[in-house]
Amino acid sequence: MLKKPDTPPMGWNSWDCYGAAVNEEQVRANARYMAENLKEYGWEYVVVDIQWYESTADGSRMHAFMPLCMDGYSRLIPAENRFPSAAGGKGFAPLAEYVHSLGLKFGIHIMRGIPRQAVHANTPVLGSALGARHAAKYASICPWCTDNYGVDPLSPNGQAYYDSIFQLYAQWGVDYVKVDDIAYNAWEKEGLVEDEIVMIHKAIDRCGRDMVLSLSPGPAPLSHADTLCRHATMWRITADLWDSWDDIVEDMDRCAQWAPYVGQGNWPDADMLPLGHLSLIGSEHGIGERMTRLSRDEQVTMMTLWCLCRSPLMFGGEMRDNDAFTLSLLTNREVLALLSHSSGARRTIRNDNFQVWQAKGENSTYVALFNVSTIPRRIGVPLYHLGLEGTYRVYDLWEKKEIGTVEDIWQDELRNHQCRLLKLTKEA
């Protein structure tokens, strides 16, 4: 069944550090790190990103029209030279079993559609008398990955194909599936590939295993919010986000637009967290191996925005190389608690220099102050702008300390790109 968790998923995804070239040893090692250092804080998903079925993958640039590893029913399977435990037809089952043995959950990335090589060879589709050629929608292609054709929702075996791959994933023990080229596709009307989203949801409901469904890339069209809420767990609200301050500021607007749809098992996704050690293999947008280019203040700003808006948290760096500061961002229980103990996040003030956001806590109000300008700023926030009156105790969630009281207006000095995350509790 489609999983609709009460809190947004938290985990690690291999793309930001390994591109399409991640291998089994790297996945297992990052899973061990998560189990030892992050599991107790709610981190649980270990996700193998794109082209795990391509034996020659060696970076973030995908090879066009390469032979793909495939079973006899047109279903892609792991490349054994990269995932040796998949040998003998075992697929991802041994790797998923290992991840589960650590108390974690296992996920994979797929491209929407059916492999072109299956279509061209008209290989069988499990559960159908017709071959792969009859499942394809030839005009529906991804502009940046040559692996698949879209699946035709009007074909007699299109649904059978999706049913067959999710049956396979259930047998492997997959808990999370990220489907790409589906939440935004330039060739489709309004971007969203709605027919295939519905087919995938149906296949998950039939597979016999609970699975999170993540849709990429963004920006997903706001006009289709109801469809996304019905048929997915999480969906990207932005294009690929990297370690760029401009990307974070743009995501503030996206988060504000999608705020009304957050909760009840629906999690608009502000994208992966490009923190820590990135691009160990390959490069993205011409930028190679590095520690995140975001300053420490910018990293805190990113974590604050994601947690306040209850975005899924998918860490993108090589976790084994985390320094103490990076680890502190991922293990602040009071900040992470916003994912489960806050609601109704909204932007209260926005101008060219700063933004103010707020959310409801159980017995308090969370307030985030963001200096988005290039110079230090003094920020004043009248309580009436927050719908509050009276005297409030002020607690800084990142500093983990009480910092005074406020009665009429909160005044703060923030460095450029710094933020403050406060909890205001009314005095009796």
pLDDT in tens, 273-313: 999 999 999 777 778 999 999 999 999 999 999 999 999 99
Residue 206 amino acid letter: R
Show contacts of 126-134: CB within 8 Å, 24+ apart: 126/73, 126/75, 126/160, 126/164, 126/167, 127/157, 127/160, 127/163, 127/164, 128/156, 128/157, 128/160, 128/161, 129/157, 130/155, 130/156, 130/157, 132/74, 132/161
Per DSSP, the three-state class of 364 is coil
Instruction: Give the DSSP letter string of 304-354.
Output: HHHHHTT--EEE-S-GGG--HHHHHHH--HHHHTHHHH-EEEEEEEE-SSE
- Spatial CA neighbour of 53 closest among 85, 90, 20: 20
425 beta partners: 393
CA distances from 52 to 24, 111, 162, 334, 385 (A): 10, 11, 18, 36, 50
Residue 124 amino acid letter: P
Rg of the chain on CA atoms, in Å: 22
Q: What is the predicted pLDDT for the residue at 307?
A: 98
Rounded to whole angstroms, the Cα distance separating 164 from 188 reads 25
Per DSSP, the three-state class of 243 is coil
pLDDT beneath 50, residues of the chain? none
Residue 2 amino acid letter: L
pLDDT in tens, 78-108: 999 999 999 999 999 999 999 999 999 999 9
Query: Please, what's the b/e burial string for 407-427 (b: 16 or more CB within 10 A of its CB; e: otherwise)?
Result: eeebebebebbbbbbbbbeee
- Spatial CA neighbour of 258 closest among 249, 250, 267: 267
Rounded to whole angstroms, the Cα distance separating 183 from 251 reads 16
Reply yes or no: is the peptide bond before residue 312 cis, omega within 30 of 0.
no
- Spatial CA neighbour of 288 closest among 69, 28, 61, 8: 61
Residues 6+ apart with CB under 8 A from 219: 184, 191, 236, 237, 238, 239, 254
CB 374 within 8 A of CB 390: no
CA distances from 168 to 68, 76, 159 (A): 17, 10, 14
CB 190 within 8 A of CB 223: yes
Reply yes or no: is the peptide bond before residue 260 cis, omega within 30 of 0.
no
Region of residue 390 (left: phi > 0; alpha: psi -120 to 50; beta: else): left
